[in-house]
Structure 1
Amino acid sequence: MKYTGRRTSFELKIALAILNMNTSITEPHKRLISSSQLILCWRNAPKETFIETVESRIIGKNNHDRFMVLIQRSQEIEITHNSGEVEQILNGGQNRKQSILSIVRESRFQRLVKSSISAPSDLIREGLIRITHAPKDFGGHARLDDGNRAVVSYSSVPTPQKYTLYPIFFGTDRLLESQRSVKFGGFRSNDKVSYGVAQVSIPHIHKEGKLERPIFLSRILKDNPNKHIVVHAKTLLDLESWLESAKRKLTNVLNTNSSHKEGLLFIHGYNVDFEEALWRSAQLRHDLKFPGLMLCFSWASLGSTKGYPADEATVDWSASNLKEYLTNVTENLGLTALHIIAHSMGNRALLAVLENWENKPGATPISQIILAAPDVDAKRFRQFGRVFNSYEQVTLYASRNDRAIAASQLVHNYPRAGGANPPLVMDHLSTIDVSSAGKDMFGLGHSYVAEVSKVFRDLFYIVRYRHKPDQRAGIMKKEEGYWELT
């Protein structure tokens, strides 16, 4: 839910300080965050997450250092009587139809901002980004110009393409923050699902289950697709065009292998931003050697470790939007089967949809459902389990060593389905105890499926060949009725 009331005085102080900085900085790349982005965060970040949301959008270590200095010295900033009028504008109280960009460009707004606080000049003055060495990942040489900015020069010899490009057909209920660059942040849309296609590359040096990304400093410059998983392009489409594009892709698949006109849908968990959801989708498509259509539904997670309460509320809100997306996939694409992998908190939206799902005659059947480390109350999970017999196979991956699930259990005071103390045993459910694999699953302290080959190979035979547990090597059945990774 959007927070439309007053922010705290501390949040207002930081917002006004950043806006003041921006009025004196003429070069956009030197700003911690643009004024437009800051106002967007102000109006959309859930209560008490404004500071964390702004911090998550700041790129570069030096910029983060500058931001932390501002936070630490905030007691030196005093708010003036003009701050009330600026706050009213930030809240959108004067003209709700006026665009944010037009607001920040108004000279009157800039004058009000400059007179809204009193602070030491050295705290508000322009800062510089300094790079002291050349990053190694870009095939070029970095140096500092006279303005202490990084300048990168490249060799004139073309770099050979050493990666494979995959189309990811996504749906998202995130707020579209930039039409031009197709930028989706962590805020909710107005109950609208956006459809599009992203082109994501996997480098040839990729190791199964890994998510190759550059070191943090390199985000100031550019990803190298020969070494990193990279989103090359994102294209928004209306629903009709999206369906036509997906059907064309399936026609190409059908021409090469008529038995693999299938779809694989990935639904991410808590603390995942839009780009990361696309990275993981491409990684699964590549590592599972899945020949069909790769799909991704990205709900509006804040992408912040401190956003857990907000993500909990949002994932419940997202269920109806996921249902719309899933309905279009199963009724309008002509897939022979659809497999779904849901992770962590994303299981809540999926299970809420499946609990009342009706597979219409002629629609694509949902075949394999993989519930990876579900952050779902164990007893509520049992209630969802009443409909598991409607699907070909439902698999639960759980672990006693999953740190994120353990933390969630402490917060909620009740066992989670993704834990294994003991593993859940239910009719029409294949439970796999993967405690021996490690502590992680798909990142954020629980990425063992993506990073441990034994578990990943088990997933491979589920998705590619629909094997039951007794047909798969590497797991053994326990007397209690669940399966265990050997």
Structure 2
Amino acid sequence: MVMLALPIHASNRLHRLGHAFQRVRTVLVVLFCALATGCAHPGPTPQPAKPPHVHKALQKHGSAFKKYGYRYGPGYYHHVRHYHGYRPWRPTTGEASQEAPPDKSATGAEVVVNKSAIKGLVPVYFATNRVVMGGPGLELSQISYARSATNTFGYVTVSIPIVHKMGEVETPESWFGIPQAEDDRKHFRIQKLNRLSREEFAAAIANPADSLMLFVHGYNVAFSDAAFKAAQIAFDANYKGRVMMYSWPSKGGWKDYDYDRESALFAPDGLFELLQLMKKEGKVSRIIVVAHSLGSQVVLGALQQAALSQMTLGITELIFAAPDVDRDLYLQRASQIKAAAGAVTLYASSTDLALLASMKKAQSKSRMGFVTNSGPTLVPGIETIDVSAVGSEMFALNHSTYSTSRAVLDDIGRIISSSTHIKPPQRTPTLRSMPDDSNTTYWMYPY
């Protein structure tokens, strides 16, 4: 065997290069670990050696700004002040003069809201036939999608973030499956969540109010999202009455349509109980019901029970937004719908992909809220509005154009805020009479 020997200086050089490579690899590993740890658990921002210049007025009142959540310092305070100059903080919408009771949260801690981070607070009373686990306290984790034979009552207080844009519900995004932390300034948040007994709930809604708006959510909606949507509609429409929601046991997943449809068939009993309670205890001059998507099927079931019981529910305005109900069932129940309310408004669309998917899945000719090539399904006495032109890109799978399009939201706002019912062309002049002014059967937003 022949042995090859390197010169001593070459061997030493390789030895030094090996050590250098080891050091570089160690530094790279440390940097990678530091970056990974920093992304998962960001540390405190290092303070500058010299404090930045702060205006004398801010130095004098700095503690007050900290107390109320202002960010002060170069580039911060003046920006916030300017922003607030155009978007003033509003204490509540909904019962503006009767803010929700100032009690404690479900954990027992006093609720502290950073007023500079929000536009307003909306108290939302609720009834739900979801199974609610645990004792007398209430946290979101206790409210499930399982079905209960009895209603649970309570109220939530929803905060509207300062960055809120009309028609949107700002919630945390997920990064690689990890949800972003909630932030009062950026997201809708539940600040209070309280359970009430049936008697306490009845006493609460017995306080006089101008009107009461009940929101019944649709498919693929969790309890918290239903509260956010009810608050968003009321806030964006500048509604001043009492806000309420009925949350039936939707599983809250886009793949769970079959479960939600069965839940919608199960839920009318609980809604009928709530409507009776509202009629008996609610000291209001107007009751407005807004039903969305599959929630419209829940409403139709409750109206059928009322008709069979020969009971009037005192509904002043009944609004169906993208109702996911079979066309034949709608036509069969039309007389019950008209008998239940003083006025009925239906928003339909030809661009609603969710309704189209539902129609194909159920092998249905059409849906109550879908506009076919021959037009929407019309019933005399029900004011039908084709909204296809104002939100085709918003009718994806959540089909929420009714609450995301400013045009439609303005129209709903005029309905729920008016003391008397106003016909569509009088309240929204941009609506076009179809087929023409002299022979109007429905209305549509122009393209």
Same fold (TM over 0.5): yes
- Distance in 1 (CA, whole Å) between partners of 2:312 and 2:360 is 41
The change in CA–CA distance for 1:424 and 1:295 in structure 2 (over 3 A counts) is same
**From 145, 169, 174, the counterpart of 1:187:** 145
Is it true that 1:410 corresponds to 2:360 in the alignment? yes
Tell me the SS of whatever aligns to 2:171. Answer: coil
> 2:167 maps to what in 1?
209
Unaligned stretches of 5+ residues in structure 2: 1-35, 45-62, 71-114
Tell me, what secondary structure is at the counterpart of 1:142? coil
| Matched residue, 1:78 | none
Give how far 1:143 is off.
Answer: 3.3
Residues 454 and 474, structure 1, Cα contact 8 Å, conserved in 2 = no
Cα distance per residue 1:392-413 (max 9 Å; x no partner) = 2111111010010010011011
Q: Is the 8 A contact 2:156 2:190 kept in 1?
A: yes
Are 2:42 and 1:142 aligned? yes
Change (3 A) 1:443 1:131: farther
Instruction: State which of 116, 122, 129 in structure 2 corresponds to 1:166.
Output: 122
Distance in 2, Cα, partners of 1:388 & 1:192: 25
Which position in structure 2 is the counterpart of 1:456? 409
Distance 1:345 1:227 in 2: 29
Q: Is the 8 A contact 1:262 1:335 kept in 2?
A: yes
Aligned to 1:396: 346
Change over 3 Å in CA distance of 1:380–1:429 after alignment to 2: same
Partners of 1:277 and 1:457 lie apart in 2 by: 20
Q: Which residue identity does 2:404 align to in structure 1?
A: E
Residue 378 (structure 2) aligns with: 425
Equivalent residue runs for 1:282-361 within 5 Å: 282-357=231-306
Query: Which 5+ residue runs of structure 1 have no aligned equivalent?
Result: 1-129, 135-140, 145-154, 254-260
Question: What is the alpha-carbon distance in structure 2 between the residues aligned to residue 355 and residue 362 of structure 1?
Answer: 10
1:477 corresponding residue in structure 2: 433
Query: 1:457 corresponds to which letter in structure 2?
Result: D
| d(CA) in 2 for partners of 1:334, 1:230 | 29
Deviations 1:371-405 (A, max 9, x none): 01111001110111112332221111110100100
1:359: Cα distance to partner?
12
Preserved CA contact (<8 Å) 2:261 2:294? yes
Secondary structure of residue in 2 paired with 1:289:
coil
1:447 aligns with: 400
Does the C-alpha gap of structure 1 residues 186 and 302 become closer, same or farther in structure 2, counting only changes over 3 Å? farther
Q: Shift of the alpha carbon at 1:132? A: 5.2
Q: 2-side partners of 1:241 and 1:169: how far apart?
A: 11
Question: Could you tell me which residue of structure 2 aligns to residue 244 of structure 1?
Answer: 203
SS of the equivalent of 1:328 reads helix
TM-score (norm 1): 0.63
Report the aligned-residue RMSD: 2.7
Per the TM alignment, residue 192 of structure 1 is displaced from its structure 2 partner at its CA by 1.1
Determine helix, strand or coil for the equivalent of 2:296. helix
CA distance in 1: counterparts of 2:263 and 2:400, whole angstroms: 22
For residue 247 of structure 1, report the CA deviation from its aligned partner: 3.0
Task: Label 1:219 to 1:418 Cα distance change in 2 as closer, same or farther (>3 A).
Answer: same
Q: Secondary structure at the match of 1:376?
A: coil
Question: What is the TM-score normalised by the length of structure 2?
Answer: 0.69
Q: How many pairs are equivalent?
A: 331
> SS at the partner of 2:425?
helix
Q: CA separation of 1:215/1:143 partners in 2, compared to 1, >3 Å: closer, same or farther?
A: farther
Provide the C-alpha distance between the structure 2 equivalents of 1:219 and 1:243, rounded to a whole number of angstroms.
40
Instruction: Report the alpha carbon displacement of residue 432 of structure 1 after superposing the two structures with TM.
Output: 0.5
Change in 2 beyond 3 A, CA 1:208/1:442: farther
After TM superposition, the structure 1 stretch with the greater mean CA deviation from structure 2, 222-231 or 261-270, is 222-231
Using the TM superposition, give the Cα deviation of residue 185 of structure 1 relative to its aligned residue in structure 2, in angstroms: 4.2
Work out the CA distance in 2 between the residues paired with 1:219 and 1:413.
38
**In structure 1, C-alpha distance between the alignment counterparts of 2:180 and 2:369, rounded to whole Å:** 38
CA contact (8 A) 1:431 1:483 kept: yes
TM-superposed deviation, 1:264: 0.2
Task: State the alpha-carbon separation in 2 of the partners of residues 403 and 171 from structure 1.
Answer: 30
Offset at residue 275 of structure 1 (A):
0.5
Match of 1:368 among 308, 311, 317: 317
**Displacement of 1:318:** 0.5
Deviations 1:397-444 (A, max 9, x none): 110100100100110111111110120111111110111112366884
Asked if the contact 2:132/2:144 (under 8 Å) is kept, the reply is no
Structure 2 distance, partners of 1:246, 1:440, is: 38
Q: Is the 8 A contact 2:307 2:336 kept in 1?
A: no
- Aligned partners of 1:450 and 1:456 also within 8 Å: yes
Aligned to 1:90: none
- The DSSP-based 3-state class of the residue aligned with 1:173 is strand
Q: Which position in structure 2 is the counterpart of 1:133?
A: 39
* Residue 200 (structure 1) aligns with: 158
Q: Which residue of 2 aligns with 1:272?
A: 221
Residues 1:171 and 1:314: Cα distance change in structure 2 (over 3 Å): same
SS in 1 for 2:356: helix
Distance 1:471 1:346, change over 3 A: same
Name the SS of the counterpart of 2:66 in structure 1: coil
Query: How far is the alpha carbon of 1:165 from its aligned partner?
Result: 1.2
Percent of aligned positions that are identical = 28
Name the CA shift for 1:400/1:263 in 2 (closer, same or farther; >3 Å): same
Deviation readout 1:334-360 (Å, 9 max, x if unpaired): 221100110000000101111342699
- In structure 2, distance between residues paired with 1:237 and 1:175: 15
Deviations 1:128-159 (CA, angstroms, capped at 9, x unpaired): xx77538xxxxxx8339xxxxxxxxxx99342
